[in-house]
Chains A and B, each alone.
Chain A
Amino acid sequence: MNGIALTLRALHHGEQRLADELTAVAERHRTEHEVHHVATDLAQWSRDHVQRLADTGRDHGLHLDAASGTGTPGLLSTLREKAAEAVGRRPEPGLLLLRDLRELHLDATENSLYWEMLAQAAQATRDDKLLALASGCHPQTLRQLRWTNTMIKNLSPQALTSL
């Protein structure tokens, strides 16, 4: 397996992980309404990336799964949401939210660096299809990063000074 295929596989894993994490955070913070709704929307971006990576992966001899977890709530989701509602009246989940946003930011950063690597390799090998994939998806990863950063910036003053 060459470096491009390895990177595709790692990124495919990373985007699937970010989609799952965004969905889990959306459920865990059901009572933080903006986080809940936007994280759900952004999970879809990562699922689209997974799909596109799987499609491109075939050209590179990879058999990557299509996106899983379409957002249909299962038992675990319901449990997470109920737990969120149960502690919705307490300030401590504010800290948990900051931790989760930080994790999302780091996961998205990792994906962003993989996209950077893929774009560079695509240019070096004059692989237009791969370049189109990277330049189509990477901007959305950067937007995921900016969102987590903005939310951390906006929410941390209250969360960290009110306990």
Chain B
Amino acid sequence: MDASVDRIARPWGSRTPYRRHEKWPERVDTCLADGVDAGGVQRWVQAASILHSDGDAMDIAVADGRMVGVRGRAQDRVNRGRLEPKDLFAWQANASPDRLTRPLVRENGHLVESDWPTAMDRIVARSRELLAERGPGSIGFYTSGQLFLEEYYTLAVLARAGIGTNHLDGNTRLCTSTAAEALKESFGSDGQPGTYDDIDHADVIALFGHNLAETQPVQWMRILDRLEGADPPRLLCVDPRPTPVARRATVHLAPRLGTNVALLNALLHEIIRTDRVDHDYVAAHTVGYEELASRVKDRTPEWAAAICDVPAARIAEAAELLGSADRLLSTVLQGVYQSHQATAAAVQVNNIHLIRGMLGRPGAGVLQMNGQPTAQNTRECGADGDLPGFRNWQNDAHVAELADVWNVDPKTIPHYAPPTHAMQMFRYAEQGSLRMLWITATNPAVSLPELSRIRSILAQERLFVVVQDLFLTETAQLADVVLPAATWGEKTGTFTNADRTVHLSDRAVEPPGEARPDLDIFLDYAARMDFRDKDGGPLVTWHDPESAFEAWKRCSAGRPCDYTGLTHARLRGGTGIQWPCNDENPQGTPRLYTDGITWAHPDVCESYGKDLVTGAADDVVEYRSLNPDGKAVIRAAAYLPPHEQPDDDYPFQLTTGRTLYHFHTRTKTARAAQLNAAAPDVWVEASASDATALGLEEGDLVDVTTPRGAVRGRLRVTDIRPGLLFIPFHYGYWDTKAGHAPDGETAGRAANETTITDWDPVSKQPLFKTAAAALHRVERGDGHPAPAPTTTASAPSRADALPGTTGGSLALVREEAAE
């Protein structure tokens, strides 16, 4: 097969069907700039995608020192040559004329161009002043899910041991902290149990709040290929939107927002009632089963049906699918993680697998997914509210070990309380106790909840804000110092995807102007601050990506995320490799927990567990008595009603989410013509029945209002759950006249104008998917449809009513597959 496919119109491309237990066939996708053919490419430079968490391996085409295209890497285990639309087109944003090329500093209220010594001097001067006057608790770092491992590790060392602050977290708090927390609660430590290869072997695949088709489109291609092949899997989809996954599912449940725990308790009830329990597995590898069984005893499908507004018969069918699976793969994402009772719900999915003994075998696994490309590394490196190497802040031996690796006194590393999470850091900034916030590669002025509050915090005179980014984002516009950063393709480093696959991404071209790799910026700061270890030597002893990687390996040694068997050289040329990779597992490790639970013992675990309702932390004594032998912990949770419920003034439920064609706040994807045209502006989704009741039609301009604020967009009428509204979260103000916030002329465009400040007390992940809202028409449409794709979960309810989303000749991609 050799085809040229419009990959905006057909995001998942052509099918390469395969049979269960067979290897997924290769298909190599190539996109070259207009006018460039393969002969014109001078070099192919190895990389992997940083536009989602899938870790699609690719090569960057280079000609005359410029990027001219990308090609999937056929030899890589993750994608076997395939790329998704963002991988195929977003590289063009690197060459955008909007790139920041010089540092900016604020003078008389305005950001003006400056130079590196001036900008760094200001940061260092403020850091020293604050350390002297107010102590390390006055300085915080808010990082990203898009830097490289080497950068996070360096940041973690300089923040935790250099500054000595407890305030370091990533925007991964918004996407992946519940995944990490759910794994800690069930298995004692973070670490993805399953592998993408489980898709090849499963006979039932259950996707909980996970629109895989749009969040990790390449793995959806894999499922589509299995659905077209012999012995296809059956799918269970839990999602209130009519996603591509829902359309292919054997059973689709569309529950009321915020009721996941009720639904999952009913599913557990049915599995236990019908005795689909693997009692041998439960006895050998778990504690807590009896408690779970008694807590869900009365949680019947009928009970849940009333709460979730899903027919009891459908819940029973879903339980039958889960209970009858021979090899069950479950995946979980934001529909659970960003919703009410996030961790409690994610843990119940783990419980399904624990009581069914569905772990550690081909096709039997759990994937607690990540949203962002390098989220896994913020978790491992301790830049995401954890200590590096999945060490336990409550375990003095772990802290001593870390202090030994860094050659510092253990007291230097704050461990009197859990590392501060992002929402709390913003609260400290609001209170005025945090006076400097260094933001790297993220855009909280669009991505955090309740934006009017976030903007007012960032705009405070007393808060010194440093922003390190590629573009003058909404957040950068509020900064005191802006540092121009190099990005993917302009710097070298490694990162790890959602199934623990470590990839190398090499420098292909020079960064624009004076932009510098984030690692170089951190190293420069550490040198200027003159951070020292306890013997007076430099705290940060490395000087480039490779030496940083070697330093990280020493920190990871003997922990679950053991990288000691990897080197940059080994990752160059072949496929990505799954950690742990060490002497015992020289080829890497496809699945964790193949022979019991390995990281839950009180002496080695990352966490002693938390109360799933209150978030209260258990201590070592409680954990040791609960789980002396280090088994998996089955933790039951009772359903609690959501904190914000619809009422007369705000009769709808409101959720936010992503679309396939954009990433995060569109800073890159809006600067790729094909992606931008596929979803150029914000829209609002409502169901056909709600639209009819309110007299609304496709394309009408509407306001969605909550007690926090309002968003204005065109209406798309879809098969979404009645009573529910959806707004994509990608849109902000940098490409409007307003600049960074709505004003008299520019209405609210960022979904987070409306969202509530509330977070899961266990994982501290903000709840973007549980709010109440009102919907009003502003003006009738002019006959044009909403600027929403038709190819995705945003498809119109009447498929024939609107022209389909296409990309035209600019979106043609070459697909080559073996016959």
Q: List residues of chain A with CB under 8 Å of any chain B CB.
A: 31-34, 37-38, 40-42, 88-91, 93-94, 143-144, 146-147, 149-150, 153-154, 157-159, 161-162
Other CB < 8 Å A-B pairs besides A34-B764, A147-B615, A150-B616, 18 of them?
A31-B430, A33-B757, A34-B423, A34-B759, A37-B643, A37-B761, A40-B643, A41-B614, A42-B614, A90-B432, A94-B433, A144-B614, A146-B618, A154-B418, A158-B433, A162-B137, A162-B428, A162-B432
Q: Which residues of A contact B417 (CB under 8 A)?
A: 153-154, 157
Q: Is B138 an interface residue (CB 8 A)?
A: yes
Contact of B137 among A31, A38, A154, A157 (CB under 8 A): A157
Q: Which residues of A contact B617 (CB under 8 A)?
A: 146, 150, 153
CA distance A33 to B756 in the complex (A): 10
Q: Is B719 an interface residue (CB 8 A)?
A: no
CA distance A163 to B640 in the complex (A): 37
- Shortest C-beta distance, B584 to chain A (Å), equals 37
- Given A33-B758, A33-B759, A162-B137, do A41 and B613 touch, yes or no (CB 8 Å)? yes
- Closest 5 A-B residue pairs measured CB to CB? A162-B433, A146-B616, A147-B614, A150-B616, A147-B616
Q: Which residues of A contact B418 (CB under 8 A)?
A: 154
- Shortest C-beta distance, A158 to chain B (Å), equals 6
CA distance A89 to B456 in the complex (A): 11
Q: Which residues of B contact A143 (CB under 8 A)?
A: 611, 613-614, 616
Cross-chain pairs A/B with CB under 8 angstroms, 13 sampled: A31-B430, A89-B431, A89-B432, A94-B433, A143-B614, A146-B617, A147-B614, A147-B616, A150-B615, A157-B166, A158-B137, A162-B138, A162-B431
CA distance A159 to B432 in the complex (A): 11
CA distance A147 to B611 in the complex (A): 8
Instruction: Determine the residue in chain A with the shortest Cβ distance to B138.
Output: A162
Instruction: Determine the residue in chain B with the shortest Cβ distance to A156.
Output: B417
B window 608-647: CB within 8 A of A: 611, 613-618, 640, 643
> Which of B138, B414, B420, B613 has the largest count of A CB atoms less than 10 A from its CB?
B613
CB of B427 within 8 A of CB of A32, answer yes
Q: Which residues of B contact A147 (CB under 8 A)?
A: 611, 614-616
Q: Which residues of B contact A32 (CB under 8 A)?
A: 427
CA distance A145 to B135 in the complex (A): 31
B21-52 Cβ-contact flags toward A at 8 Å (1 or 0): 00000000000000000000000000000000
CA distance A91 to B428 in the complex (A): 8
Q: Is B134 an interface residue (CB 8 A)?
A: yes
B window 706-763: CB within 8 A of A: 757-759, 761
> Which of B431, B433, B615, B764 has the largest count of A CB atoms less than 10 A from its CB?
B431
- Shortest C-beta distance, A77 to chain B (Å), equals 15
Instruction: Determine the residue in chain A with the shortest Cβ distance to B640.
Output: A41
Instruction: Determine the residue in chain A with the shortest Cβ distance to B457.
Output: A89
Q: How many residues of B contact A (CB 8 A)?
A: 32
CB of A149 within 8 A of CB of B138, answer no
Q: Which residues of A contact B135 (CB under 8 A)?
A: 161
CA distance A153 to B613 in the complex (A): 18
CA distance A111 to B273 in the complex (A): 36
Q: Which residues of B contact A149 (CB under 8 A)?
A: 616
Instruction: Determine the residue in chain B with the shortest Cβ distance to A153.
Output: B417
Contact of B614 among A33, A88, A146, A153 (CB under 8 A): A146
> Which of B417, B420, B759, B764 has the largest count of A CB atoms less than 10 A from its CB?
B417
CA distance A42 to B618 in the complex (A): 18
CA distance A28 to B616 in the complex (A): 21
Q: Which residues of A contact B758 (CB under 8 A)?
A: 33, 37
CA distance A149 to B619 in the complex (A): 12
B window 375-416: CB within 8 A of A: 414, 416
- Shortest C-beta distance, A30 to chain B (Å), equals 10
Contact of A91 among B424, B433, B640 (CB under 8 A): B433
Contact of B761 among A38, A90, A91 (CB under 8 A): A38
Q: Which residues of B contact A154 (CB under 8 A)?
A: 417-418
Q: Which residues of B contact A38 (CB under 8 A)?
A: 614-615, 761
- Shortest C-beta distance, A128 to chain B (Å), equals 17
- Shortest C-beta distance, B170 to chain A (Å), equals 19
Q: Which residues of A contact B431 (CB under 8 A)?
A: 88-91, 93-94, 162
CA distance A150 to B138 in the complex (A): 22
CA distance A147 to B617 in the complex (A): 8
Q: Which residues of A contact B640 (CB under 8 A)?
A: 41
CB of B423 within 8 A of CB of A33, answer yes
CA distance A78 to B433 in the complex (A): 27
Contact of B416 among A88, A93, A150, A157 (CB under 8 A): A157
CA distance A54 to B340 in the complex (A): 31
CA distance A121 to B462 in the complex (A): 59
CA distance A153 to B424 in the complex (A): 14
- Given A143-B614, A149-B616, do A88 and B759 touch, yes or no (CB 8 Å)? no
Instruction: Determine the residue in chain B with the shortest Cβ distance to A151.
Output: B616
Instruction: Determine the residue in chain B with the shortest Cβ distance to A41.
Output: B640
CA distance A31 to B542 in the complex (A): 42
- Shortest C-beta distance, A154 to chain B (Å), equals 5
CA distance A159 to B428 in the complex (A): 9
CA distance A152 to B134 in the complex (A): 21
- Shortest C-beta distance, B629 to chain A (Å), equals 24
Instruction: Determine the residue in chain B with the shortest Cβ distance to A146.
Output: B616
Q: Which residues of A contact B420 (CB under 8 A)?
A: 158
CB of A161 within 8 A of CB of B137, answer yes
CB of B616 within 8 A of CB of A33, answer no
- Shortest C-beta distance, B131 to chain A (Å), equals 13
B window 137-172: CB within 8 A of A: 137-138, 166
CB of B761 within 8 A of CB of A34, answer yes
Instruction: Determine the residue in chain B with the shortest Cβ distance to A44.
Output: B640
- Given A33-B423, A33-B757, A33-B759, do A88 and B611 touch, yes or no (CB 8 Å)? no
CA distance A160 to B613 in the complex (A): 27
Q: Which residues of B contact A158 (CB under 8 A)?
A: 137, 420, 428, 433
Contact of A89 among B430, B616, B618, B643 (CB under 8 A): B430
